[in-house]
Amino acid sequence: MDNVDLQVLRQLAAWRREGRGAVLGTITRTWGSAPRPVGSLVAVRDDGQIAGSVSGGCIEDDLIAKLREGALALQRPELLRYGVGAEEAQRFGLPCGGTLELLLEPVSQASQIEALLERLDRGERVQRLLDLHSGRVQLQAPEHGADTLLLDARTLRSHHGPQWRLLIIGAGQMTQYLAQMALGLDYRVTICDPREEYADGFAVPGCTLSRDMPDDVVTAMQPDGHSAIVALTHDPKLDDLALMEALQSPAFYVGAIGSRVNQSKRKARLAEHFGLTPAQLARLHGPVGLHIGARTPPEIALSILAHMTAERYGVQIHSQGPEPGARGEVGCAL
């Protein structure tokens, strides 16, 4: 789930502790372009305070107005639609003819917001089943691979918790920035480094640190289409082992730090010693990240996450850095 939506749930829990009433809105369908994707959350407190967003502000303003008119004094979940016609679409920040459907539910003990947050804080992925007639919620483990929102005549089925995973090989300074930024994008982050001189004392709150060998960690991870593996050690004995396994997996992103010259040498090693095919080697992003003139560790981390985000949404932007040794090459010239 989006990190912004997790904040909405936390705000709802805080309002409940204060004894305040609130309504939770979930985007269930969109037609045409929409400001936020299906599954995005917004909450409105009984005095009109807003948490989260589903539009550029116009829909939120309309929800506040409805609340003050008493229209949101709901007894059970209710569907609203915005932007069916061109005039409404313009008013609510949707493209002409676009439509956004929002399910509103009155928040109560039956909503199980606190129980959901407890499970999310343990790093679990949770399926939330909302009964549209009673407003009662059941929490359960999601079906394998399920991550979509489903709405029928009786139930809203939504999924919450870490969906995207990132494995970083190497516990260096750049890893710290990459891991921290990735957490903000709702990745579940694991850092792998068997080297005592790097791993001893290294910690990024919210991330898991493994001291096992990288190939073993990748194998145990069982990468899927929601997984990314980035190698940052510059040590072929570590990076190559991880990449060998990662490039044979369905991971949506596999990258390694290093110059173009070193990437060519790495691909030759992977082909000669591990038998990787040209198609598998073509999946390796290196120099890793987008060429944005990055020089510092946080800038390079930003370029990596930008490239991962593009790949995640199917936007094909290739890392076309400068020639080897050129100033500011992403992934450095080592």
Cβ distance 47 to 59 under 8 Å? no
Domain boundaries along the sequence of the chain: 3-160, 164-312
For residues 242-260, average pLDDT: 94
Q: 21-40, pLDDT tens digit by residue?
A: 999 999 998 876 666 788 89
pLDDT bucket at 328, cuts 50 / 70 / 90: very low
**Mean pLDDT in residue range 45-66:** 86
SS3 content of the chain, % helix, strand, coil (to 5): 35, 20, 45
Which of 163, 162, 168 minimizes the C-alpha distance to 208?
A: 168
Please provide the DSSP assignment of 54-82 as one string: SSSSHHHHHHHHHHHTTTT--SS-EEEEE
Give the residue-averaged pLDDT of 309-328: 63
DSSP state string for 6-22? HHHHHHHHHHHHTT--E
Q: Using the predicted structure, report yes or no on whether residue 102 has a pLDDT greater than 50.
A: yes
Radius of gyration of the chain, Cα coordinates, nearest whole angstrom: 23
Average pLDDT of the residues of the chain:
86
The residue-averaged pLDDT of 95-110 equals 82
Of 6-20, 111-125, 199-213, 311-325, least confident by mean pLDDT is: 311-325
**pLDDT band at 135, cuts 50/70/90?**
very high
| CATH number for domain 164-312, candidates 3.50.30.10, 3.40.50.720, 3.40.190.10, 3.90.1150.10 | 3.40.50.720
> Which has the closest alpha carbon to 243: 185, 170, 176, 315?
170
Distances (CA, A) of 276 to 8, 95, 256, 271: 45, 46, 16, 5
Distance (Å, rounded) from C-alpha 57 to C-alpha 36? Answer: 12
CA distances from 275 to 143, 238, 280 (A): 35, 17, 10
3-state DSSP assignment of residue 129 = strand
Q: Identify the helix (H) or strand (E) that includes residue 255.
A: strand 253-256
Please provide the size of the chain in residues.
334
Residue 319: what pLDDT? Answer: 55
Cα pseudo-dihedral 256, 257, 261, 265, rounded to 10? -40
| pLDDT tens digits along 140-193 | 987 654 567 899 999 999 988 767 899 999 999 999 999 999 998 879 899 999
138, pLDDT greater than 50: yes
What pLDDT score does 189 carry? 95
- pTM for this one? 0.62
Q: For residue 103, list its beta bridge partners.
A: 26, 79
Higher pLDDT, 333 or 33: 33
